[in-house]
């Protein structure tokens, strides 16, 4: 970000890969609180790959266990190959640690708003 | 020796023979093979180490084969055994050997292990039945092991589900708090949403854990209100079994629709009606269609900003069906409709194994 631009940045388009709709719903609000938009969501890695909306995104929030199994790490790798940074959102710190190189941060569930906002700032700095 | 010589680790059904002198090993192997027992023989310390690591059912050895090095390898293996494991050891002595000294020595080197001693010459029947009995004992150990592994797996699954439910509750709380204008309102709405979650959890559990019908979900959602005298909800549709996750989501959606109808919609006035209908459309995939239609209520005004209910319905039904629901604030009554592949939400009774290991 150049310093002489006005302080308003374009909202990021953030995608959410999560199989619990209550959490998608919660995350949608937290994304909006941070001034960004939920670009779409999928409940599985396979749905992510099939979603045309998933190609025009700035970043993704990825749960580890999804509707098609423990495919969150695969989803993060898939996104990374496409140059899209991801953040794990999971209750399973130990599994997240195994795949730490695929993401730029980890948000531990239950999601705490301050932690969420801080991790989203890392995403902002990446873009 | 290649690794393919080793028995399948964990099978615990092979007889491992250490009898390097004369033709003992060949003779024993042939004898046990005649009784359909799987046999592996070893000579060197390296072989012994590798075969022990593969988890033999029974270890059979002649006493003269047991050099201090080999005794030590076996001792280390015995010490490293998991708590369920107790590898039986059959030791073949002979008449001329100092048997009480050998027994004392092995008891000291291999404390708390199951040792059977036979003095040669012995009959085939004696030896075979001794080894068979040791293998049977080993099979029981394997069952204990499998049981422990299942329990560990169940605990892991339970932990995962508890974490999930806590995360859900936390999200419900956070989102309810955002929409709340008073502490009482927050307490009422949060309590009602938790009750809805709890009811569907109990219903799924009672339905043997992995599937629940739409009719049951409708019943458990509407019954408390019917008992309060609100009986103007007509629920109907064919028998459709949903997965646990889909059932939970649908129950929470119905809760939002029902409470909204009671507060602001068709159920807030004496003559309002709600129709909740679902159907299978066989030509399309098949698809499942679900419709909530209110009539006879006060004129509907679309909210200026979406509340918990609407936003949850959009996220939840959208996630469930893979398409966005159609939520219309029509003046004559709220209408919420969604249609999507039945296979995404239905629990296939033909393939219960595909659901979960539970």
CB contact under 8 A, A21 and B319: yes
| Cα–Cα distance measured from residue B113 to residue A18, given in angstroms and rounded to the nearest whole number | 51
Give SS3 for A70: coil
Q: What is the pLDDT of residue B170?
A: 92
Q: What is the pLDDT of residue B357?
A: 34
CB contact under 8 A, A25 and B322: no
Mean pLDDT, range B23-49, rounded to an integer? 91
**Predicted confidence (pLDDT) at residue B3 exceeds the cutoff of 80:** no
Instruction: Give the tokens for residue A81.
Output: 């190959």
pLDDT single digits (tens) B249-278: 999 999 999 999 999 999 999 889 999 999
Mean pLDDT, range A81-92, rounded to an integer? 94
Contacts of A107 in chain B (CB under 8 A): none
| Cα–Cα distance measured from residue B337 to residue B29, given in angstroms and rounded to the nearest whole number | 72
CB contact under 8 A, B170 and A47: no
Q: Which residue of A has its CA nearest to B356?
A: A69
CB contact under 8 A, B167 and A41: no
Report the candidate in B325, B260, B327 with the shortest Cα–Cα distance to residue B297.
B260
Q: Which residue has the tokens 């200026």?
A: B304
Nearest CB neighbour to B320, from listed A21, A91, A111: A21
| Cα–Cα distance measured from residue A59 to residue B309, given in angstroms and rounded to the nearest whole number | 27
Contacts of A19 in chain B (CB under 8 A): 245, 319
Q: Domains of chain A by range and CATH?
A: 13-126 (3.40.50.2300)
Task: Tell me the ipTM for this assembly.
Answer: 0.83
Nearest CB neighbour to A29, from listed B168, B178, B316: B178
Q: What is the pLDDT of residue B8?
A: 65
CB contact under 8 A, A111 and B318: no
Q: Which residue of A has its CA nearest to B168?
A: A22
CB contact under 8 A, B312 and A21: yes
Strand partners, B330: B333
Q: Are strands B287-295 and B273-281 parallel, antiparallel or unpaired?
A: antiparallel
Minimum distance, in Å, between the CA of residue B314 and any CA atom of chain A: 9
| Cα–Cα distance measured from residue B264 to residue B301, given in angstroms and rounded to the nearest whole number | 10
| Cα–Cα distance measured from residue A81 to residue A77, given in angstroms and rounded to the nearest whole number | 6
Q: Domains of chain B by range and CATH?
A: 3-146 (3.40.50.2300), 210-352 (3.30.565.10)
CB contact under 8 A, B168 and A22: yes
Q: What is the pLDDT of residue B6?
A: 58
Minimum distance, in Å, between the CA of residue B100 and any CA atom of chain A: 53
């Amino acid at each position: 970000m150049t310093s002489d631009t006005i302080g308003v940045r374009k909202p990021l388009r953030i995608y959410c890969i999560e199989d619990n709709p209550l959490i998608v719903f919660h995350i949608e609000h937290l994304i909006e609180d941070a001034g960004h938009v939920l670009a779409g969501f999928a409940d599985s890695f396979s749905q992510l790959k099939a979603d045309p909306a998933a190609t025009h995104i700035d970043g993704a929030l990825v749960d580890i266990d999804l509707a098609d199994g423990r495919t969150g790490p695969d989803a993060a790798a898939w996104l990374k190959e496409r140059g899209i940074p991801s953040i794990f959102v999971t209750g399973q710190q130990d599994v997240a640690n195994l795949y730490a190189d695929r993401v730029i941060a980890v948000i531990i569930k239950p999601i705490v708003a301050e932690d969420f906002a801080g991790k989203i700032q890392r995403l902002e700095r990446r873009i | 020796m290649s690794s393919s010589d080793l028995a399948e680790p964990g099978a615990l059904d092979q007889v491992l023979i250490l009898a390097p002198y004369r033709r003992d090993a060949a003779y024993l192997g042939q004898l046990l093979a005649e009784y359909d027992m799987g046999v592996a023989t070893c000579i060197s310390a390296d072989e012994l180490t590798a075969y022990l690591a593969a988890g033999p059912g029974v270890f059979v050895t002649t006493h003269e084969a047991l050099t201090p090095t080999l005794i030590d390898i076996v001792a280390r293996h015995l010490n490293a055994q998991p708590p369920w494991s107790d590898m039986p050891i059959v030791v073949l002595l002979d008449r001329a050997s100092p048997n009480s000294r050998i027994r004392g020595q092995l008891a000291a080197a291999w404390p708390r292990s199951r040792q059977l001693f036979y003095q040669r010459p012995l009959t085939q029947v004696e030896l075979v039945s001794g080894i068979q009995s040791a293998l049977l004992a080993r099979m029981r150990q394997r069952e204990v092991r499998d049981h422990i592994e299942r329990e560990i797996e169940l605990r892991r699954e339970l932990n995962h589900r508890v974490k999930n439910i806590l995360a859900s509750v936390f999200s419900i709380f956070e989102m309810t708090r955002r929409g709340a204008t008073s502490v009482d309102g927050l307490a009422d709405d949060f309590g009602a949403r938790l009750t809805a979650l709890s009811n569907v959890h109990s219903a799924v559990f009672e339905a043997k854990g992995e599937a629940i019908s739409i009719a049951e979900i409708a019943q458990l959602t509407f019954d408390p209100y019917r008992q309060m005298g609100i009986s103007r909800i007509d629920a109907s549709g064919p028998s459709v079994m949903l997965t646990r996750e889909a059932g939970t989501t649908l129950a929470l959606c119905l809760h939002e629709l029902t409470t909204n109808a009671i507060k602001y919609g068709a159920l807030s006035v004496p003559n309002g009606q709600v129709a909740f209908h679902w159907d299978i459309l066989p030509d399309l995939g098949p698809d499942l269609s679900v419709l909530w239609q209110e009539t006879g209520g006060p004129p509907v005004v679309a909210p200026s900003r979406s509340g918990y209910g609407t936003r949850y319905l959009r996220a939840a039904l959208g996630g469930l069906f893979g398409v966005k629901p159609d939520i219309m604030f029509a003046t004559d009554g709220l209408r919420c409709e969604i249609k999507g592949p039945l296979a995404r939400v239905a629990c296939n009774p033909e393939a219960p194994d595909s659901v979960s290991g539970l």
